[in-house]
């Protein structure tokens, strides 16, 4: 099983075209550049200067809660188990201070508006009902986000999706709830170090449906030890019973310093083949049930309410992100920034403790500057990895050049591998079904040499 997280290319078989086919599961590109490419910012730029010349009328707001009741064996997210000694109170106090400083830095000389909001983690519903209410107040009263007027997505878990918490979220405007189920088979959940039973999962799903939050997303994982085509189909059908508006199908990754990572040894081509087989099975099963494929991972019911970030006026490739909390990242056009990053539990606890005692949140501490080349790569990545593809004219309007001019070798290689949809026409750059299936190899292939080097040099902690 793979333990690679640095984004270095791992080659595999040779295709009929003579082009070497990379392994299909190199890394999940959910943001670019990855935090392992961030470094301490020597100048610690002031936030008001960073945001002074940015467009701020369609921002995305993300609040990070770094607490879970347990840590799953595959998880490398920035989170800790439990919150002793009123740590959640102290964390929310710090989040309030940070929100105040950030909103002051955004200023009032031009329009400041949030087009989308999300609470992630960790597990935001680790907070109790009163604390969730306070979290919403921070987003609304400190940041000025109208949670009842924009998409609000919240992550939860079977154990914390309680009726009182869900009632708060529904009342405060949550439009989407995402629950990590991973498997409806108890033995598979145990193999993934996910301590839950199906009965508990089903009860939580019932409470979520009772709360009438418009969009339910269920996360499932394929590639778990002992999983077969039959048990995978069982989990897919169990999820479909709830008619979720969205389903995410994630390949299992084994990463350093995680529970499963400590047990893994080397890479396994057979595991790659198993995951690719289960992906195709899951994709085809959901498509046959009327779901539309949005990306390699995401499938949506056609009648589901739109949950695109910010609806029609927000574009993740161009608009800014405000992240609050010690695991959140923020994006301006020229700098991506956050706090220190770690996976090891002891390191995470130290970073959280430092965050809760911080009084001055007026400067960026850790991040990476984004030049023209990196902006092009990010735009191409975030567009091409979506099933709808990328409008070439939009890219050219923003950068004055075309993607074929900027990335000739990469796009030629993708075409040779059969990853580009030749029927899309010259105005649309879109992946073929096989290209979507290899998103976790295609994405890292677009990393710049500088980012790749920084990720490789990062000392995992």
Read off the pLDDT of residues 338-396 as tens digits, 9 standing for 90 and up: 998 887 778 888 999 999 999 999 999 999 999 999 999 999 999 999 999 999 999 99
Sequence-ordered list of residues with C-beta below 8 angstroms from that of 233, at least 6 positions apart, any chain: 281, 285
Q: pTM score, two decimals?
A: 0.91
For the chain, give the mean pLDDT: 89
* Dist CA 409 CA 377 (whole Å): 13
Residue 253's pLDDT band, with cuts at 50, 70 and 90, is confident
Q: What is the pLDDT of residues 176-231, one digit of tens each?
A: 999 999 999 999 988 876 778 999 999 999 999 999 999 999 999 999 988 999 99
Say if CB 458 and CB 37 are below 8 A apart.
yes
Residue 369: which residues within 8 A CB-CB, separation 6 or more? 334, 335
How would residue 4 be classed by pLDDT, with cut points 50, 70 and 90?
very low
Yes or no: say if 36 and 340 are a contact pair by the CB < 8 Å rule. Answer: no
Q: Are 143 and 322 in contact (CB under 8 A)?
A: yes
> 213: burial class by Cβ within 10 Å (0-12, 13-18, 19+)?
buried
Cα 358 to Cα 101, 339, 351, 352, 428, distances in angstroms:
12, 12, 11, 10, 47
- What gap in Å lies between CA 344 and CA 364, rounded to an integer? 23
Give the DSSP per-residue string, 186-247. Answer: HHHHHHTT----HHHHHHHHHHHHHHT-SEEEEEEEE--TT--HHHHHHHHHHHHTT--SEE
């Amino acid at each position: 099983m793979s333990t690679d997280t640095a984004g270095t290319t791992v080659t595999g078989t040779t295709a009929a075209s003579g082009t070497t086919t990379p392994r299909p599961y190199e890394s999940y590109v959910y943001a670019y550049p990855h935090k392992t490419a961030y470094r301490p910012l020597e100048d610690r730029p002031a936030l008001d200067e960073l945001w002074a010349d940015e467009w701020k009328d369609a921002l995305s707001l993300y609040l990070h809660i770094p607490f879970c009741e347990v840590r799953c064996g595959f998880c490398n997210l920035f989170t800790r188990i439990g919150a002793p000694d009123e740590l959640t109170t102290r964390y929310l106090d710090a989040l309030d201070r940070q929100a105040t400083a950030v909103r002051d830095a955004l200023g009032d000389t031009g329009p400041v508006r949030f087009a989308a909001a999300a609470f992630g983690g960790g597990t935001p519903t680790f907070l109790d009902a009163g604390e969730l209410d306070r979290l919403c107040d921070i987003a609304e009263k400190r940041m000025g986000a109208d949670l009842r007027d924009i998409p609000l997505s919240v992550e939860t878990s079977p154990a914390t999706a309680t009726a009182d918490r869900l009632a708060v979220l529904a009342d405060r405007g949550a439009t989407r709830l995402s629950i990590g189920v991973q498997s409806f088979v108890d033995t598979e959940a145990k193999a993934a170090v996910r301590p839950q039973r199906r009965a508990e999962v089903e009860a939580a799903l019932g409470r979520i449906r009772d709360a009438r939050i418009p969009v339910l997303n269920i996360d499932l994982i394929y590639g778990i030890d002992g999983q077969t085509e039959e048990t995978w189909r069982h989990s897919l059908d169990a999820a479909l019973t709830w008619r979720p508006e969205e389903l995410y199908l994630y390949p299992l990754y084994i990463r350093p310093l995680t529970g499963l990572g400590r047990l893994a040894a080397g890479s396994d081509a057979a595991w790659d083949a198993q995951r690719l087989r289960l992906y195709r099975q899951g994709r085809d099963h959901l498509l046959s049930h009327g779901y539309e494929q949005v990306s390699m991972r995401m499938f949506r019911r056609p009648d589901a309410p739109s949950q695109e970030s910010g609806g029609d006026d927000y574009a993740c490739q161009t608009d800014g992100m405000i992240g609050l909390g010690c695991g959140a990242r923020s994006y301006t056009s020229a700098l991506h920034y956050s706090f220190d990053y770690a996976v090891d539990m002891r390191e995470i606890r130290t970073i959280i403790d430092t965050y809760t005692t911080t009084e001055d949140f007026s400067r960026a501490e850790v991040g990476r500057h984004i030049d023209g080349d990196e902006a092009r790569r990010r735009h191409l990545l975030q567009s091409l990895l979506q099933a709808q593809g990328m409008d070439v004219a939009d890219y050219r309007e923003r950068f004055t050049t075309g993607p074929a001019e900027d990335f000739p070798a990469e796009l030629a290689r993708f075409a040779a591998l059969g990853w580009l949809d030749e029927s899309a026409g010259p105005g649309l750059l879109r992946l073929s079904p096989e290209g979507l299936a290899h998103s976790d190899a295609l994405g890292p292939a677009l990393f710049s040499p500088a980012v790749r080097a920084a990720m490789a040099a990062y000392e995992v902690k």
